[in-house]
Amino acid sequence: MISEKIKSQIGGEMVIRAMFEKGIKMKQEFGADNVFDFSLGNPNVPAPDAVRDSIVDIITNTAPQKVHSYMPNAGFPEVRKAVADHLNSRYGTGYTPDNIIMTAGAGSAINLVLKSILDAGDEVICLAPYFAEYKGYIQNYYADVVEVGPMDDGSFYPDCEKLAAAITPKTKAVMVDTPNNPTGVVYPEPVIKEIAAVLKAKEQEFGTVIYLISDEPYREIVYIEHEGELPWLPDYYDDTVVTYSYSKALSLPGERIGEVIVPDAADGSKELIGAITTCNLLTGTVNAPSLMQLVLARCLDEKADVGFYRKNAELLYEIVTEAGFEALKPQGAFYLWMKAPDGDDNAFTDMAAKHKILVVPGSAFAGPGYVRLSFCVAHDMIERSRQAFMDLGAEYK
């Protein structure tokens, strides 16, 4: 018998996977070219050549004992140094290898941080709509998810007044994800400053520590014009911990590689780094995949082809708006957030599936009334989906 807790989680968080599997079945039934699958954020841009060249070179020319062995739970020291140096040159920070813990992707990074800071009954705030798995991750540690809705001006920026009202003495962390999954919105600097100001004020009011967990798998995938780098959140709020992933940045999601960055300024940073490292062991992950650590240390300046995603974003936005739908123009990540015309995202998802368009209902992200379309797909699939969107739009006219 599986546990009651897992039973309750299987329905909700698994919606995206369920859509993905539905897509596989529909493709078998109708033919792959006749199904327009926008369900899963699985990058379809190939990893940069440097990644494959590094894999070949490392397995050919590095001693197998080095490539395939255990190493310290936080990762290879030289890889953590390479990551720290890279961040220092980008953000003018002064990180050392001690501030970096290599992880099996962002999913593991977030779990390690949560496991390190949460006791049963603690609260973690998620800024809705948010990445569906956060909920399950938080519940893994018997903590409570507190959802805070966005501004009601259609910007999908967090509503900082509501955020302030939701913080209690039990609030241990706030999850922030910009560029955002599922909305494709990038928070500008004033929004980051506002979040930081709210958290600082609440830490003072309650005499507690509230970590800002900045989950950044889409940091490199940005379409809007901005000057230089996106804001680096630890510059705005000391108790920030960054969870990062190479899944999207280097198109390597199956390889499971990412990191946690705990700056010295974060409260109890040394203990936190120790706890996160131990949790790598306690969760049974032990360490981030060794070959991938060595690979990414050589590929830190590489990026997936953002131009490809930008073209997809533009084409999909053009098609859905032409079909009469209201949508947010993607600013980053690879998601388009579209309004369900009659406000019922589940019914709209079913109607879209009848036209062989697979989307994920916004309710799965605590964003009812909208659906998410993931456009990390072949450009020609988007082009071929045009008529299906026109037909779907006609259903609502």
Q: In the complex with ligand PLP, which residue's Cβ is closer, 288 or 323? A: 288
Q: From the CB of residue 151, how many other CB atoms can be counted at a distance below 10 Å?
A: 14
Q: How far is CA 384 from CA 32, 280, 333, 380, 381, in A?
A: 12, 44, 22, 6, 5
CA–CA separation, 299 and 131 (whole Å):
27
Contact status: 105 vs ligand PLP (CB under 6 A) = yes
Contact status: 131 vs ligand PLP (CB under 6 A) = yes
Among 48, 75, 97, 107, binds ligand PLP (CB under 6 A): 107
**Residue in the block written with tokens 């600097």:** 189
Q: Rounded to the nearest whole angstrom, what is the least distance from the CB of residue 135 to ligand PLP in the complex?
A: 12
Phi-psi region of 287 (alpha: psi -120 to 50; beta: other; left: phi over 0): beta
Beta bridge partner(s), residue 171: 123
DSSP state at residue 196: H
Among 13, 122, 123, 215, binds ligand PLP (CB under 6 A): 215
* Signed CA dihedral, 21, 183, 103, 43: sign only: positive
Write out the binding residues for ligand PLP, residues 252-271 only, by CB under 6 A. 253, 258
Q: How far is CA 336 from CA 39, 315, 346, in A?
A: 11, 11, 17
Contact status: 247 vs ligand PLP (CB under 6 A) = yes
Among 39, 171, 245, 287, binds ligand PLP (CB under 6 A): 245
Contact status: 220 vs ligand PLP (CB under 6 A) = no
Segment near ligand PLP (CB under 6 A); pick from 45-53, 100-108, 186-194, 378-386: 100-108
Q: In the complex with ligand PLP, which residue's Cβ is closer, 75 or 107? A: 107
> Of 124, 125, 204, 131, whose CA–CA distance to 160 is shortest?
125
Q: Rounded to the nearest whole angstrom, what is the least distance from the CB of residue 316 to ligand PLP in the complex?
A: 18
Q: In the complex with ligand PLP, which residue's Cβ is closer, 181 or 349? A: 181
Bridge pairing between strands 258-261 and 171-176:
unpaired
Segment near ligand PLP (CB under 6 A); pick from 3-11, 86-94, 105-113, 269-277: 105-113
Q: Residue count at the site for ligand PLP (CB under 6 A)? A: 13
Say if CB 294 and CB 67 are below 8 A apart: yes
Q: Rounded to the nearest whole angstrom, what is the least distance from the CB of residue 17 to ligand PLP in the complex?
A: 11
Terminal alpha carbon distance of the chain: 48
Q: What is the maximal distance between C-alpha atoms in the chain?
A: 65
Among 158, 217, 263, 367, binds ligand PLP (CB under 6 A): 217
Segment near ligand PLP (CB under 6 A); pick from 6-14, 93-101, 102-110, 290-298: 102-110
CA–CA separation, 251 and 260 (whole Å):
19
Q: Rounded to the nearest whole angstrom, what is the least distance from the CB of residue 92 to ligand PLP in the complex?
A: 26
Q: Rounded to the nearest whole angstrom, what is the least distance from the CB of residue 395 to ligand PLP in the complex?
A: 30
Contact status: 362 vs ligand PLP (CB under 6 A) = no
Contact status: 13 vs ligand PLP (CB under 6 A) = no
Among 45, 74, 106, 132, binds ligand PLP (CB under 6 A): 106
Q: Which amino acid is at 65?
A: Q
Q: In the complex with ligand PLP, which residue's Cβ is closer, 131 or 237? A: 131
Which helix (H) or strand (E) segment holds residue 102: the answer is strand 100-103
- Decide: helix, strand or coil at residue 86: helix
Q: Rounded to the nearest whole angstrom, what is the least distance from the CB of residue 11 to ligand PLP in the complex?
A: 20
- Decide: helix, strand or coil at residue 396: coil
Contact status: 41 vs ligand PLP (CB under 6 A) = yes
Contact status: 184 vs ligand PLP (CB under 6 A) = no
> Of 251, 246, 250, whose CA–CA distance to 107 is shortest?
246
Contact status: 129 vs ligand PLP (CB under 6 A) = no
- CB-facing half-sphere around the CA of 78: CA atoms within 13 A: 6
Angle between helices 133-140 and 105-117 (to 10 degrees): 40
Per-residue contact track with ligand PLP, 151 to 180, x per CB under 6 A? Answer: --------------------------x---
Segment near ligand PLP (CB under 6 A); pick from 101-109, 232-240, 287-295, 321-329: 101-109
**Residue in the block written with tokens 């501004």:** 151
- Which positions lie near ligand PLP, rule CB under 6 A? 41, 105-107, 131, 177, 181, 215, 217, 245, 247, 253, 258
